[in-house]
Structure 1
Amino acid sequence: MSTLTGTPTTTTADRTRRPRLSGMTWLVWRQHRATYWTVLCAAVLLAAWMTYQHIQLMDFLDASDWTDKDVARSGEKSDAHIEPMRWIWPVLAMIPIVLGVFVGAPLLAGDLEHGTSKLVVTQSGSGARWLATKLGVTALVIGVTTTALSISYGRWSDALQDSLMPWMSWAEGSTFDNTGPVPVALSLFTVVGGLAIGLVLRRTLAAMVVTFGFGILVQFVWGHFRLSLGDVVTLTTDNGAFAESAQPQIPDSAYGIDISYITSNGDLLGRSTCFSEKTEQARELCLKQADVVGWSVEYLPKSQMAGMQWLGSSILLALTAAVTVFLFTWGRKRLV
């Protein structure tokens, strides 16, 4: 009937055809598909490996009845689960830098260096649309991959910290920078920064070198100001510096920042005060002469970790947005 009336028929192939990319999105994906697929496949493999390590750890803990035994001292068997965590830290720390150098820097610099941008903006669409598509597709790939790595590593590190590695602090970069939203924000900022560097320099190799330095600088500054994202809690005592249990005890999961002597008028003295005295009696006399009455301990509770991560990530994302505005306001003039 449909053939006689001229009505087009719907074939099985048409009904099952998957949606495909088109237009500028298809162009950007096809141009950088090797880079995108490399990033996605590498992230899948690394996430799968960390998931496997987590499963192996849980099997070991279940078999060891770790709730009743000190498996942290069980020798080589526990070391076999701790050692992979130690070498994965520098790998994860380098991911934002690697993404910035090999994904962000060449993304615009390569097109500007070889003149591809001129062809695109004159044939396929506006420079703003082309730039927005590049940013959008790249940000989506980076966001998906780093989120998967963050989740996989977070589950594994939490299990290790609760069992075999209680000394692993949540405030150190090995945990803080690789879980939650932080790796996503760090990677996006470094990649978008690489795009901006490539836009300015217009040379791929030069952009990659400068982006590498930029990534190192971002990691250094972030590590320096990381602890300032939290609200420091202070505990003080006034029962002397040598009394039994005089030093205040912070929670087991807390991160200690500083410990000082405190005087009767509230002044703080460093722990090196009276350190040169040879005997305990001489040190006690020295501290009394310095009017030391107790201790002052500053720390960050673990309950602040999530808030600190989201605050820091918000700052990084705001900086990323600022660089993006720069790309659109100043960069459109340099795409040709």
Structure 2
Amino acid sequence: MIWLTWRQFRGPALAGVVALALLTACLLHLGFDIRESYDNHRAQCAGLADCGPQLSRFSADHENTLLYLAAVLGLIPGLVGMFWGAPLVAREVEAGTQRLVWSQSVTRRHWLAVKLAVVGLAGMVLTGAASLLLTWAAGPVDQVADNRFSTILFGSRNVAPIAYAAFALVLGTIIGLLVRRTVPAMALTILTFVVVQFLVPNVVRPHFLPAEHRTVPMTAQAINQARSLGSITGAPVVKGLTVPDAWVTDVSELLTRTGEPLDEGIFDGCFTDAPATGTAEGPYGDTAVCLAEHDLHVTIAYQPDSRYWSFQWLESAFYLLLAGLLAGFGFWRLQRRPS
């Protein structure tokens, strides 16, 4: 059964090997180029008390390229599920060829288990190799930028993408088992995977571990450091606040000294008709000064960077658990409806 599965899968496997070889050459070249650039920028720091500006330029020179690569490589698990997982069962059920295997003393569950094991292992190896290559290539930039919890970066580095591939492969296989048609199964697989990949970082990941909290006074300087003020609903909120060496998962509304949310009328007044001071600086100018006069603060929930590897392993376990549950459902479904 393993040999039969390999013979059926060798075409896609060969395509995966060729793609990985090309990707390896690209990332090796990029990695050595990044390291050379890092050494050059470090050399410019000789005799300087602060190397921050040089390292910031180094990070800016490469961050866009690495961001695009992370986004592209983040799709690899989805493509594994779409092109390897979805047709794995759907193609055979659509053609009826699975009956020939079942008539040769191979049980239905054994048939499905071998397919999942062989193709799933190949998908995990391919994704893991791509992820580790990108992690190595981007190492100096990641160290300088210190933004490892970024949604795109987190999902394209280290071990988590391996678990994504396992989940995507099983997801595609089970969808193919249910839909029983290859093309619709492929479309549903990539759509479902993208939805899950959106929900987990934004809804599930922040709650893997209890967050730390701190209260931050909203002085004019602090408000000017925010990425944006307000929302489409008019709520008195600030967005884009940061905590050193941490991933900010939630920021409360602007709160008064008593802990009550700032009145929207006051917020709108400062936002649209702040008294002119003539001395205000920063992106929000007099608006920031006006808001600061109301003695405001926010409560920030965050995850320290020291928990990065805990989150990598927890998210990997979460996706592997989902894959296991889907596989269990597939075995049950196959036994209930074998034809």
1:178 match: secondary structure: coil
Q: CA deviation at 1:176?
A: 0.7
Contact 1:154 1:180 in 2 (8 A): yes
Q: How does 1:210-249 map to 2 (within 5 A)?
A: 210-225=188-203, 226-237=205-216, 241-242=219-220
Q: CA deviation at 1:110?
A: 0.7
Q: Which residue of 2 aligns with 1:182?
A: 160
The 3 A distance-change label for structure 1 pair 53 and 119 is: same
C-alpha separation in 2, matches of 1:298 and 1:268: 17
The 3 A distance-change label for structure 1 pair 32 and 295 is: closer
Contact 1:258 1:297 in 2 (8 A): yes
Contact 1:97 1:212 in 2 (8 A): yes
C-alpha separation in 2, matches of 1:83 and 1:328: 44
Match of 2:244 among 238, 248, 252: 252
The 3 A distance-change label for structure 1 pair 187 and 148 is: same
CA displacement, residues 48-77 of structure 1 (integer Å, 9 cap, x when unaligned): 4223311221122223435825445669x9
Match of 1:172 among 134, 145, 150: 150
Q: TM-score, normalised by structure 2?
A: 0.77
Match of 2:2 among 20, 25, 33: 25
CA displacement, residues 210-266 of structure 1 (integer Å, 9 cap, x when unaligned): 21221222222223223333433222256x73589999x965332334265433333
Q: Which residue of 1 aligns with 2:236?
A: none
Contact 2:128 2:159 in 1 (8 A): yes
The ranges of structure 1 where at least 4 consecutive aligned residues each deviate by more than 6 angstroms after the TM superposition are: 243-247, 280-287
If you compute each CA radius of gyration, which structure gives the higher value, 1 or 2? 1
Contact 1:40 1:141 in 2 (8 A): no
Q: Give the stretch that moved more between structures: 306-315 or 29-38.
A: 306-315
Instruction: Give the RMSD, CA atoms, in angstroms.
Output: 3.3
C-alpha separation in 2, matches of 1:74 and 1:237: 30
**Number of equivalent positions:** 305
1:279 aligns with 2:282: no
Match of 1:196 among 169, 174, 178: 174
C-alpha separation in 2, matches of 1:243 and 1:28: 63
The 3 A distance-change label for structure 1 pair 67 and 108 is: farther
The 3 A distance-change label for structure 1 pair 57 and 111 is: same
C-alpha separation in 1, matches of 2:185 and 2:84: 11
Q: Which residue of 2 aligns with 1:103?
A: 84
C-alpha separation in 2, matches of 1:311 and 1:103: 26
Q: Give the stretch that moved more between structures: 171-180 or 97-106.
A: 171-180
Contact 2:9 2:119 in 1 (8 A): no
Among the aligned pairs, what percent are the same residue? 27
Match of 1:323 among 322, 326, 329: 326
Q: Which runs of 5+ in 1 are unaligned?
A: 1-23
Q: Which runs of 5+ in 2 are unaligned?
A: 46-50, 226-240, 278-285
1:37 aligns with 2:14: yes
Q: TM-score, normalised by structure 1?
A: 0.78
C-alpha separation in 1, matches of 2:221 and 2:90: 65
Q: Which residue of 1 aligns with 2:39?
A: 62
